[in-house]
Structure 1
Amino acid sequence: MSPQIIFKCFSLILLLLSACVFAGEEPVIERVLTLKTATEQAVQDNPDLAQMQARAQAMAAIPSQMGTLPDPEISFNAMSLPVNTFNTKQEDMTQLGAGISLAIPFPGKLALREQAAAFEAEAATQSVTEVRWRLLSEVKSTWWLIFYLDRAIQIVDSNHALLQQFVQIARTKYEVGEGLQQDVLLAQLELSKLLDQQLMLKASRRNAAASLNALLDKPANEEVRLPDKVESQLPTIKRESLLYRQAETSRAVLESNRQGINAAQSRLELAKKDVLPDFNLGASYGARANTPAGDKRADLLSLNLSMNVPIFAAQKQAKAVDQRTSELMQEKYALQDQWNKVRSQISQGYNDYRRAKDQVVLFETGIVPQARQTVASMLAGYQVNKVDFLNLVRSQITLFEYETQYWKALTEANQSLAQLNAAVGEEEIYE
């Protein structure tokens, strides 16, 4: 076999081995985190929400325990056993016995205990819903903050490229004697300012990404990539009074407070019943051995009924009623305070959304297009020495600020929508 054929065969083997190795490797695809995906992952993986769900499940297991009678007690005993001989046949009263007893609360007490626990379990369930809405609001607000920072960084990069062109134009005009050196220095200074803004924006972006990763139960340093484009059309929301009415029935924290009132009312009724006695019912059976002469002794059966006597009712049960009455008033005041907070949250979100939406329209249809036209006009005038360089740079910086403010307003509008959803407790807040 010739050396050329051997070389070709060896090359073919290497090619096949390379194909086999790389065939098992999958290309690394950086996934885009949409807002919908972020909210779904948060609801599924967030540990704070998970621990609230576990707490609600634990609370749901309590009512049946509170409404069930105590476990009966079984006892074994030896009565009247002579210690000199320990002979069970010696004395007539000697007996070996077994007994059972059961504590029975006064009728109605168990039902009230179960009822109070059921209301508390429902309040815990409503707390899960409240935490879920708060989580969704935080995720959406953080996601939109990252989206805004991405747009701001893009605008800085774009303006950096434009200012570099301005520097080149100023330098060219200076070299041919038609410009000033201060124009070149001014443009370089603005470039340095943009670099400083870029550093700050990127640092803020990393912090926001770490916060979002924490909400999604991911490593804080994991890369977060958002889509480049989103729906910029802002919806029309319902009137403020309608949102109030909607939140009164749908906001979970209000329902949780109502269940707290119900639980406090049940505990008050239970405290009033504590002046009534609880009972203890028992029975025991005593087996006696035959006499030494062989005569049979009869076995003995004992029954007993006992009850507690609340002789310290003024210092104990009456004070418990006072305590439960105050706790009931506390829950009622807490509900009223929470309702005031809910209305305040709705009003703030409503006003913030309307303001941000109006700003979006103003920047999108008026300010930004006019600023772009101004920059284009200034650049054309500068190239023919009709506009000084300082005004040209100022117009470009102004355009940069307006474009950034547009994306900030759009972000704040969507963040306000997320806060309104959480404040009302529903997604359907639109007309």
Structure 2
Amino acid sequence: MVKGSRYRYVLAAWVLWLVLGVGHGAVSRVWAQAPNAGLPPDLQALIAESLKANAEVKQMASLAGAAKETIKSAGALEDPTVSFGMTNIPTDTWRLNQDPMTQKMLELSQKFPFPGKRRLRSEVAAEQAKSDDLAYRDKANEIRAKVVIDYWSLALAYAGFDIVQKNKQFWEQVVQVTETRYKVGQGMQADVLQAQVELGNYLDRLFQWKQRQESLQANLNALRGKPPQTPVGRPQPLNPRPVTLKLDDLLTQAEVRPQLQALKALVAKQQKAVDLAKKDYFPDATVSLGYAFRETLGPPVNMKQADMFAGGVMFNLPIWQASKIKPRIREEQERQAAAQETVHNTWNQLAAAIKDRHGKLMRLAQQITLYNQGIVPQARQAVEASLASYQVGSLGFERLYQNQIAVYNAELTMREYLKDFEENWAELEWLVGAELPRPSGGKP
């Protein structure tokens, strides 16, 4: 008897589950360019390595992946509930086979949201996932820009070191010449002392450029997830390049920048959230199915009783509209308005930044041309003739000093302009969200 009852319980549970599954289906149907082109190969390798190993990029990628996983679960049904209970048990004997109304109840229930709610929940999650994925892409572009900027800054550090080294060698010659002229009575001791001071200044500048190289190498290692002391090869030299970019084209390209598209996805998400909040005006349904087990009545009746089946549908009543539903709708509408303003403000700032970087590129291109074709060659010619003239006494020490300082400042300034040019170019690529064509240039 006990064994037969156990089979009845198991069979009833399976029947309820299958029936509820069929009901679920029925209700659902009713309610339901080559990358980094033009960059030096070593810089391309650094970028690729950084995009794979950078902690910020990996973090954003994980968040984007997590957001994608929420899409299905957001639109899924709630877990069904199962309950077991006993009713109508006489308290005089506590026997289950005394009264024909005594029952052991097994009940399954499932909540079904109003048609459209599950779809909207999935769409809200999908727009959030889209926004997170675009934010991840923008972070990757940001890290790429940082790598490019640090690379060319490191190139400047090496170029500055070389310029100082060359000028140090020049002043070593000047010290020898001033000492020789002083010994033969043709020069002044003040010239010797000033030449020695200048030589010491260039030694100090060598230390500064060396320290800057080490700092920038550590920055590049941090971006690619390596220890700070990991060796970084010497970058390619900075060379002038023409500017062929048009502001209107850049602004058009920036309209599809991942950051801007991510914010627009949040606007779309809030529109879906508003639609979802309006669905709260409509009730959800909870379908329940039950099976009641009854024991064979005891003596003197000794009658076998049939089990019983029950089913029902329950609806919630969305009557608290003024205090619950309408405030939530207004909340989502305000969030949508805020998201739209964020897009508008971000675009204004983005357009201003693009115009600023484009203007700087145009200005730097002109300055580089001026220094590369005019100031630097002229300064070099002047200093080359100065030392020979000073040796024979036809040029004073002060004039020699001025010519040498002029060529040093001119060469260093031009390298700084070249670095600033590449820095603004990298920032511009990040701002528009795409790589820009890089025409080749000449040598400084």
TM-score when normalising by structure 1: 0.89
Measured on the aligned residues, the alpha-carbon RMSD in Å equals 1.6
User: What residue identity is the alignment partner of 2:293?
Assistant: A
Cα deviation, residue 197, structure 1: 2.0
Q: Distance in 2 between matches of 1:350 and 1:301?
A: 77
Report the more deviating stretch, 80-89 or 58-67. Answer: 80-89
Matched, 1:243 2:256: no
Matched, 1:382 2:393: no
User: What residue identity is the alignment partner of 1:240?
Assistant: L
Contact kept? 2:50, 2:225, Cα under 8 Å: yes
Matched, 1:353 2:361: yes
Classify 1:170/1:231 alpha carbon distance in 2 versus 1 (closer, same or farther; 3 Å): closer
Partner of 1:272: 278
Q: Distance in 2 between matches of 1:76 and 1:184?
A: 104
Partner of 1:178: 186
Classify 1:428/1:43 alpha carbon distance in 2 versus 1 (closer, same or farther; 3 Å): same
Partner of 1:215: 223
**Ranges of 4+ aligned residues in structure 1 off by more than 3 Å:** 82-86, 428-431
Of 417, 424, 428, the residue aligned with 1:416 is 424
Of 246, 261, 267, the residue aligned with 1:261 is 267
Contact kept? 2:155, 2:238, Cα under 8 Å: no
Q: Distance in 2 between matches of 1:138 and 1:430?
A: 18
Q: Distance in 1 between matches of 2:41 and 2:416?
A: 20
**Secondary structure in structure 1 of the residue aligned to 2:323:** coil
**Secondary structure in structure 2 of the residue aligned to 1:315:** helix
Matched, 1:46 2:68: no
1:279-298 aligned within 5 A: 279-292=285-298, 293-298=301-306
Aligned length: 398
User: What residue identity is the alignment partner of 2:216?
Assistant: A
Q: Distance in 2 between matches of 1:145 and 1:304?
A: 73
Contact kept? 2:152, 2:238, Cα under 8 Å: no
Partner of 2:321: 313
Of 321, 324, 328, the residue aligned with 2:336 is 328
Cα deviation, residue 302, structure 1: 1.7
Of 23, 43, 46, the residue aligned with 1:35 is 43
Deviations 1:132-178 (A, max 9, x none): 11111111111111110111011111111110110001101111111
Classify 1:106/1:324 alpha carbon distance in 2 versus 1 (closer, same or farther; 3 Å): same
User: What residue identity is the alignment partner of 1:283?
Assistant: L
Matched, 1:373 2:405: no
Q: Tell me, which stretches of 5 or more residues in structure 1 are unaligned?
A: 1-31
User: What residue identity is the alignment partner of 1:236?
Assistant: V
Contact kept? 1:33, 1:226, Cα under 8 Å: no
Q: Distance in 1 between matches of 2:197 and 2:243?
A: 44
Matched, 1:72 2:80: yes
User: What residue identity is the alignment partner of 1:319?
Assistant: P
**Secondary structure in structure 1 of the residue aligned to 2:428:** helix
Matched, 1:232 2:239: yes
Q: Distance in 1 between matches of 2:211 and 2:425?
A: 26
Q: Distance in 2 between matches of 1:230 and 1:174?
A: 41
Of 242, 252, 255, the residue aligned with 2:258 is 252
Deviations 1:293-340 (A, max 9, x none): 321212121212111112221011100011011011001001001111
1:165-204 aligned within 5 A: 165-204=173-212
Q: Distance in 1 between matches of 2:320 and 2:246?
A: 58
User: What residue identity is the alignment partner of 1:379?
Assistant: L
Cα deviation, residue 69, structure 1: 1.4
Of 103, 110, 120, the residue aligned with 1:95 is 103
Deviations 1:199-223 (A, max 9, x none): 2222222222222111111112323
User: What residue identity is the alignment partner of 1:243?
Assistant: L
Classify 1:81/1:429 alpha carbon distance in 2 versus 1 (closer, same or farther; 3 Å): farther
Report the more deviating stretch, 325-334 or 299-308. Answer: 299-308
Contact kept? 2:112, 2:284, Cα under 8 Å: yes
Contact kept? 1:34, 1:226, Cα under 8 Å: no
**Secondary structure in structure 2 of the residue aligned to 1:316:** helix
Matched, 1:116 2:124: yes
Q: Distance in 2 between matches of 1:346 and 1:240?
A: 8
Q: Tell me, which stretches of 5 or more residues in structure 2 are unaligned?
A: 1-39, 440-444
Question: Percent of pairs identical after alignment?
Answer: 30
Contact kept? 1:94, 1:288, Cα under 8 Å: yes
Q: Distance in 1 between matches of 2:202 and 2:257?
A: 45
Contact kept? 1:33, 1:224, Cα under 8 Å: no
Contact kept? 2:123, 2:272, Cα under 8 Å: yes
Cα deviation, residue 231, structure 1: 6.4
Partner of 2:30: none
TM-score when normalising by structure 2: 0.87
1:124-143 aligned within 5 A: 124-143=132-151
Q: Distance in 2 between matches of 1:79 and 1:422?
A: 70
Contact kept? 1:243, 1:429, Cα under 8 Å: no
Cα deviation, residue 233, structure 1: 4.2
